[in-house]
A and B are shown apart, each in its own frame.
Chain A
Amino acid sequence: MRRFRAIVIAIAIFANLVVAIPTAKIDDDELADPEYRQSDVRNWYRWTGGLGMDEERFRELALGIMTGWRDAVRLVRAPFQPFFSLVHTNQQWGLFAVVGERKETVVIEVRRNGQWETLYRRLDPEHTWHDDQLKYRRIRGVWDGVKEEPKGTYKRLTVWLAKEIFTEQPDVDRVRVVLERSAMSLPWETVDPTVERRAERYHRRNEVMDDPEQEAR
């Protein structure tokens, strides 16, 4: 038993260390996009002086190293991956690994008696409808970080929100859920007031309440 335990622990420690080797999150589909991770690459370029390369070449090299490193680590992890996949865990602790200079908030607007009004905006004390639900970490995970083309889970969240609103507020006939993105700036920089509205989902009472699955699709 003593020997068996020592062997199992040795393997477990090794497996966890291998899984802990950090790799940058690289989305292969986005590598061709010249804007992908551009802010980080530009900052590193400035800091290293570009290592004698022009910015484009430096970008190719940086992303190439990150992709190659990720593939190599993936290979070493392969024997242990089934266990980690089974229990849905890993040792990658990228907690706030990249904190960007843009912020995004979810906004819910409703049309009541022909007039649009804001029902919810995160951290706005005037518009707090169901704030406890929307800020709950497991729901926040659905709307925070939505990509340019929202996926199904986000779409279904907006349908569910619309259903909740239509059930609670009979005088509302339209619901609009949108993400408002704005830039943050350092204290000595000028604040850019531009707000970009994206990932907008629009729901009509008759469609959502009659056929909730239609909107989800």
Chain B
Amino acid sequence: MMERLSRWWADWEAFWDEREHPLPVALVRIFLGLCFVYDFAHIWQLGLIEPLFVMAEAGGLSDGFMREDPVWLYRILPPTAWAGHLHHGILLLSAVTFTLGLFTRTSAVTLIAASATFSAIMPYSDRGIDSLARSALCILVFSPAGKTLSLDALIRTGSVFGDGRPEPMWARRLLIGQLVLMYFDAGISKTGITWWPMGHFSALYFALQDPAVAAYDYSSFIRKPFSFFMTQLGAAGTMVYQYTYPLVLLLLWWRRHPERAGRFGRLLVAWRVEYLWIGVGFLFHIILGFSMNLGIFPWAMMSLYPVWLTAGEWERILSFRRWSVAESGT
């Protein structure tokens, strides 16, 4: 028993110590960073810095200063308009430097702290995607995401591509785990009856009529039988998709250990069936991005998708350059 446990632990240590070129996590850093930059620049462009960042005492919406336990930032700063502008400025600046890979870890820590503070100041304006982005940042802050395609790499090695040395790949694996957990949990959390046959799979039909989240007014055709059927298909498909998402981990495990897969499993691995979930997810987010009013949600979700490919696979896609990437595990 002890021998088996210690062998298992040794495998665990070895698994998390495997290395690859940091290209996939660097791509996540850039795409996620761009979502942050867009979101905070968009607040500025819409003229919403004052309502969202400034305390009620200075004309904003937040009660962060008047609470019994004020938000930490306003124990240091006075609740003035410039403090709100400073907070927004720090968020935007750290998002820019994070995207560029300049002082990557410091930028990531600043971004987490400033974003978490914003969440404390305006909890109603903090959505699920902001929480997911902070979770991803908590992983990226310790990862080698700034070791390539970054100004840090340029400063350190003289090339924005870095020195091409393999780095620990645990961050990419944890981000895969985060995606699987998010999709699966989103499925099992769907307790509303409208997601189930008893509710006629009508969740999407109703959601698309909700002015808060619909991008357009679909009332002219959504009650037609074909439209309703398509929304039912979408709702049922979403449930099947999210409930079965953990199978992706099994498929990746079988890819690593084909000897444990059995004939059917090896067939699924050979056909790369995991791309079904990844491709459907990609399509799902694109459709959501245009049909619903969800802000950066679909785009920030897709910004994590680079982790589905290994550094070697990315090298083949980005073949304009020789990346000196050794083939890595899943």
**Using a CB–CB distance below 8 Å, which chain A residues touch chain B?**
2-3, 5-6, 9-10, 12-13, 16-17, 20, 22, 24, 39-40, 43-44, 46-47, 86-101, 103-105, 122-125, 132-133, 135-145, 152-153, 156-157, 160, 163, 184, 186-187, 212-213, 216
Contact = CB atoms under 8 A, between A and B. Distances in A.
Contacts of B186: 93-95, 97
Nearest to B223: A187
A109 to B, nearest CB: 16
Judged by DSSP, the binding face of B is helix
Contacts of A13: 174, 177
B247 interface: no
A88 B43 contact: no
Contacts, number: 203
Interface string B203-218: 1111101111110110
B127 A141 contact: yes
Given A123-B217, A139-B48, A95 B128 contact: yes
A216 B56 contact: yes
B134 interface: yes
5 contacts: A96-B203, A122-B212, A153-B122, A156-B63, A160-B59
Contacts of B132: 89, 93
Given A6-B16, A94-B189, A99-B210, 9 more contacts: A9-B16, A22-B189, A40-B191, A136-B46, A137-B294, A139-B48, A139-B52, A144-B212, A153-B63
Contacts of B199: 43
Interface string B40-63: 001100111001100011011111
B227 to A, nearest CB: 9
Interface in B211-245: 211-214, 216-217, 223-225, 228
Interface of B: 9, 12-13, 16-17, 42-43, 46-48, 51-52, 56-57, 59-63, 112, 115-116, 119-120, 122, 124-128, 131-132, 134-135, 138, 168, 170, 174, 177-178, 181-183, 185-186, 188-195, 198-200, 202-207, 209-214, 216-217, 223-225, 228, 293-297
Contacts of B212: 103-105, 122, 140, 143-145
Of B62, B132, B192, the most chain A CB neighbours within 10 A belong to B192
A183 to B, nearest CB: 10
Contact of A105 (B202, B211, B297): B211
B138 A89 contact: yes
Contacts of B202: 99, 186
Contacts of A133: 46-48
B293 A140 contact: yes
Given A10-B12, A103-B211, A157-B61, A93 B194 contact: no
A98 B131 contact: no
Contacts of A3: 13
A28 B126 CA distance: 23
A104 B211 contact: yes
Leading 4 A-B pairs by shortest Cβ distance = A138-B125, A98-B192, A137-B295, A105-B211
Contacts of A143: 212
Contacts of A140: 212-213, 293
A97 B297 CA distance: 16
A100 B192 CA distance: 8
Contact of B52 (A95, A96, A138, A184): A138
B207 A96 contact: yes
Given A5-B170, A6-B13, A152 B192 contact: no
Contact of B209 (A24, A91, A138, A184): A184
B77 to A, nearest CB: 19
Contact of B193 (A44, A89, A153): A44
B61 A97 contact: no
Contacts of A105: 211-212
Nearest to B195: A99
Most buried by B among A16, A143, A153: A153
Contacts of A145: 212
